């Protein structure tokens, strides 16, 4: 499993990459491995207002259906519509092509409440 440096992580297994006032969000390598083969992703609606830790999307795999939680508060400004045709990108490249959506942050201070790579790995080891 990989946990790239420079990202922030939630205890619900989402990752967050900061990009100029917005954040890109996906699920971690740990989460995609636990889910198994992803077969469908229900993306959030563009323009949707989201609250930190609220369910925003769903991922269906051969094992189960899992909620995706938004680790920050803001507005959905982009979705990865390529996942409609290639949901397996979440398994193949969870930190790259498998990103799920982007949010314009309402409060950048919320990022401080997320884990860095070392803290996320320690959380997984518990």
Domain ranges (residues) in the chain: 8-125
Distance CA 9, CA 116 (A): 6
Task: Please tell me the pTM assigned to this model.
Answer: 0.95
In words, the CATH class of domain 8-125 is mainly beta
Summarize the confidence of residues 118-125 as an average pLDDT. 97
Distance CA 6, CA 116 (A): 7
Q: What pLDDT, on a 0 to 100 scale, did the predictor assign at position 20?
A: 84
In the sheet that 38-42 helps form, which strands lie side by side, from edge to edge?
38-42, 54-61, 65-70
pLDDT in tens, 87-105: 999 999 999 999 999 999 9
């Amino acid at each position: 499993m990989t946990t790239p440096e420079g990202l922030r992580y939630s205890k619900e297994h989402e990752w967050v990459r900061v990009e100029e006032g917005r954040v890109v969000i996906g699920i971690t390598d740990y989460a995609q491995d636990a889910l198994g083969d992803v077969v469908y992703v229900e993306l959030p609606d563009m323009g949707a207002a989201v609250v930190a830790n609220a369910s925003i999307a769903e991922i269906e795999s051969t094992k189960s259906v899992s909620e995706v939680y938004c680790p920050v508060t803001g507005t959905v400004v982009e979705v990865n519509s390529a996942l409609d045709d290639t949901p397996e990108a979440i398994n193949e490249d969870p930190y790259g092509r498998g990103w799920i959506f982007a949010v314009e942050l309402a409060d950048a201070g919320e990022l401080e409440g997320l884990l860095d790579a070392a803290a996320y790995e320690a959380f997984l080891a518990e």
